[in-house]
Amino acid sequence: MTLVWILLGLLLPTLCGYGCVRATEYRTPVLQNLERWTLATVLGGPLTMTAAFALYNTGLIRITLFGMSAAVLATLALCGAAYACLGHTASLPPPALAPSPNMRPWLRWLLAAGALWWALKIGAAGLMLLGTPAFIDDVYDNWNLIAELDALNSMRATRTYTWGPDLSGTLDGAGGVGGRFRPRLRGSF
């Protein structure tokens, strides 16, 4: 299920970027399809995040799953409308891609190595995302953290904390500073 969310999280910003790129090209397409989709992938993430934080700063959304999803879908609708109004009416075919006779062999190898390095970094990041715990929920008593729950494992406590008197000698006079006794791993809550 996590893989489906990762793919959806990459697809929606990429579609936003594609609509923006096509609207920018307007009636004069200068990019090949591969170049256009690559630029859309690179541009889509920052575009949707900038729109989300702009909407957050204006008070229209909150930084929650639903707020961020609404921001991404609003950006997708805006970029889709721009593509439908401007980019979809392109009248010229894309230019033919001819090999460059001036490119040095060492430059080709350097570009190929850079592309391979980029692909390895994206693959490693994907493996890290799939291999790390998906969701840990924190439980607080006032300002004191008392447990960390594994949301994917029936809300089982993965770590609990015992609190005592803080620096003021009371349970919360100094906000709990210095009052945590010990964390306990895999305890019951």
Q: 57 or 103: which carries more pLDDT confidence?
A: 57
pLDDT reading at 176 higher than 70: no
Reply yes or no on whether the pLDDT at 71 is more than 80. Answer: yes
- pLDDT tens for residues 119-142? 888 888 877 777 666 566 677 777
Q: Which residues contact 167 (CB under 8 A, 6 or more apart)?
A: 173, 174, 177, 178, 179
Question: pLDDT tens digits, residue range 6-62?
Answer: 777 788 888 888 888 888 877 777 788 888 888 888 888 888 888 888 888 888 888
